[in-house]
Amino acid sequence: MKFHRPLRLTALAAFTGLVLGCGSSSTPAPTLAPTGPVFSILRANLFGTDQQANGPSTSGESLSSNGRFLVFSSSATNLVDNDTNGFQDCFVRDTFTGVTSRVSLDSSNAQGDGDSTTPRISADGRFVVFTSSATNLVAGDTNAMPDVFLRDLTNGVTTRISVDSAEAEANGGSSAISISSDGRFVAFFSTATNLVPGDNNGFIDVFLRDTLNGTTTRVSLDSQGNEGNGDSFAGVASDDGRFVAFYSEASNLVAGDANNASDIFLKDLQDGSIQLVSVSSTNQQSNGGCSPSIDMTFDGRFVSFTGAGTNLVPDDNNGLADVFVRDVVGQTTVRASLTNEGAETTDIGSFAPKISANGRYVVFSSGSDQLVLEDTNGVEDIFLRDLLGATTARLNVSQDGVQANGLSEHPGISADGRFVMFGSEATNLVPNDTNGVRDIFQSRNPAEP
């Protein structure tokens, strides 16, 4: 079984649709604090503490380690002062102080002349990586392609990431995927053929940029350094830059890849080895394809992914996409998209997993009404699975536990597992939500007060 084509197109939206974003006022240097205001759910895409956005926002699926800072993109023009570029911008929200700042700026704080999207923030809250079609964020941007940029929120400097090791710009479009805790390593994918020597496969590849050493390395290769025979994207790097998990449609990255389906791989950049992640605990290849939406713990041990295979765990009989977690050290695979009783869903699949740093919590989205009791809203919701406690909770609910009256999607989880962010079209999650557009919310993990 393969995933439907629209899932792949969704993953490539930053490439083709380019719904991007960033803006104008300068960004303050972040200071991580141990605690913040007590809440069960709050709205994040605001100007100050109460002015609603006048345009839709998209979750960046990314928070700082303690949940203080979160990132999103938006077409709203009233989240910061002097947002007059008419393009979608990227923003960071300080949930402790209630300040929203624009990220997609050049180093003199001039706003971009193109859309910016897919922001990801480092765990320390200092760096934000994002994709932009703007041509004025750095000097010499003449490739007329979406590029990947890195914003240092402390010193206000913006640099381009999607370049080769000699700083030459890419001859194809690129999109940001992930950033390490300290901002040193950025994983991205690109159609460019000039980022590394010998890129002749004509497919999308995954790359890793080391911002300290100024090097760009191609990740989507087999253990002998041969390039893949299919598209690869959605890379997530470990904190030390050694491991990168990614999605690929290539069939020649590991020996014996005969399932004729998209898979999840883990590349070891230290010794060059590569292994299949989307396999069962007995290393059986999946009999169904995988989604490009993946995540990995900082140490590279646990990888969360969505797969349509029915043979990755015992008793998988629903024929739907499920969320799985692979322990690459213990060589085990478990299913996360289960009810509190350990039952599978039989109505709708689950997608878009993100995992906490210790591998205990997995947040994901699903339109199923079977994961928790009293799920009757008929829309996609955000769920949190505690793999240790074997419990599942719905998080896109109001302070009083009222279920959302609109779709929720694109979840992210803080490294400490205490906070979750997501986008939602619901109007009843917080009081006075009257703007009629998709907003950004942050909720608490009930198991980690």
CA angle 364, 369, 371 (to 5 degrees): 55
30: helix, coil or strand? coil
SS3 string of 385-440?
EECCCCEEEECCECCCCCECCCCEEEEEECCCCCEEEEEECCCCCCCCCCCCCCEE
Model confidence, pTM = 0.91
DSSP one-letter string for 238-276: -TTSSEEEEEE--S-SSTT--S-S-EEEEEETTT--EEE
Question: What is the rounded CA–CA span in Å between residue 395 and residue 419?
Answer: 10
> Of 198, 26, 178, nearest to 104 (Cα)?
26
- Give the per-residue pLDDT at 28: 42
- Give the per-residue pLDDT at 176: 85
> Of 118, 124, 66, nearest to 95 (Cα)?
66
- Give the per-residue pLDDT at 37: 59
**What is the distance of C-alpha 440 from the center of its chain?**
15
CA angle 445, 446, 449 (to 5 degrees): 85
Helix (H) and strand (E) counts in the chain: 2, 30
CB 296 within 8 A of CB 245: yes
- Give the per-residue pLDDT at 7: 37
222: helix, coil or strand? coil
For 102-122, b where at least 16 C-beta lie within 10 A, e where not — what string?
A: bbbbbeeeebbebbbbbbbbb
Question: What is the rounded CA–CA span in Å between residue 41 and residue 442?
Answer: 6
- Give the per-residue pLDDT at 425: 99
Question: What is the rounded CA–CA span in Å between residue 130 and residue 128?
Answer: 7
Q: What's the token pair of residue 389?
A: 């406690």
389: CB partners within 8 A, 6+ apart? 447
Question: What is the rounded CA–CA span in Å between residue 183 and residue 239?
Answer: 9
Work out the number of other CB atoms within 10 angstroms of the CB of residue 221.
23
> Of 438, 367, 378, nearest to 405 (Cα)?
378
CA atoms within 13 A on the CB side of 265: 32
Q: What is the largest CA-CA distance in the chain?
A: 58
DSSP state of 337: -
**Mean pLDDT for back-to-back runs of 10 residues, the chain (449 residues):** 36 38 38 55 96 97 97 98 98 97 98 98 97 98 98 98 98 95 98 98 98 98 98 96 98 97 98 98 97 96 98 98 98 98 98 98 98 97 98 97 97 98 98 98 92
CA atoms within 13 A on the CB side of 418: 14
Q: Which residue has the tokens 């971009």?
A: 112
Question: What is the rounded CA–CA span in Å between residue 369 and residue 373?
Answer: 8
CB 150 within 8 A of CB 129: yes
Task: Please give the backbone phi and psi of residue 101, each rounded to the nearest 5 degrees, phi first.
Answer: -125, 150
> Of 45, 40, 82, 115, nearest to 433 (Cα)?
45
- Give the dihedral sign, CA 396/402/406/407: positive
